[in-house]
Amino acid sequence: MASTISAATLKVTITEDITLNGSNQGATNTVSISSVNEVYKRIVTCPANVDTTIATFQTGVNTADNAIDLEDVRYLRLTNLDDTNNIDISLQTALAEGGTANASASILIEPGKSFMMGSVHDGISVDDDAATIVTALNDLESILMNPGTNAVDVEIFVASV
């Protein structure tokens, strides 16, 4: 079976708009990501008091339920759609290619705000024994959401080639 999907270019634009003392201090930055032929987009209601896995990254889409091929991901965005409540995201990392998670980094996402990253393959690392830059990066294995005591809607968008 031949695919009927034509790859396209994803254009991502980030704009900060602020004027202080009569002077524009904002900026606009745009990046184009070519050859995108897969998009994973979903709005998930994460139930209160429960960790919810919203994405899993593996070496192939057939290696785990609902897996996204980690080597193909070029852009990832998570947005907290709640207007009141924070969420904690836990980025689960794996030392071995396509392995199970063995470390995590947690990040607070305030209401209406987003978290973005590019490649999830060799794109993140966590080190708990030194406060120095880590250059040997690992794979993102999955993303878990912890909404705390309130259910929170989260949007995930992943673009792959």
Q: What is the pTM of this model?
A: 0.92
Architecture of domain 38-160: Sandwich (2.60)
- List, in order, residues 6 or more apart from 20 with CB less than 8 Å away: none
- What is the full DSSP assignment across 116-161? EES--TT-B---SS--S---S-BEEEEEEEE-TTS-EEEEEEEEE-
User: What Rg value do the Cα atoms of the chain yield, rounded?
Assistant: 17
Q: What are the CA-CA distances from residue 132 to residues 30, 107, 125, 136, 146 (Å)?
A: 30, 18, 12, 12, 27
- Residue 45, pLDDT score: 97
Query: What pLDDT was estimated at residue 40?
Result: 97
Amino acid 131: pLDDT: 80
* Residue 129's pLDDT band (cuts 50, 70, 90): confident
Domain boundaries along the sequence of the chain: 38-160
Q: What is the mean pLDDT of the chain?
A: 94
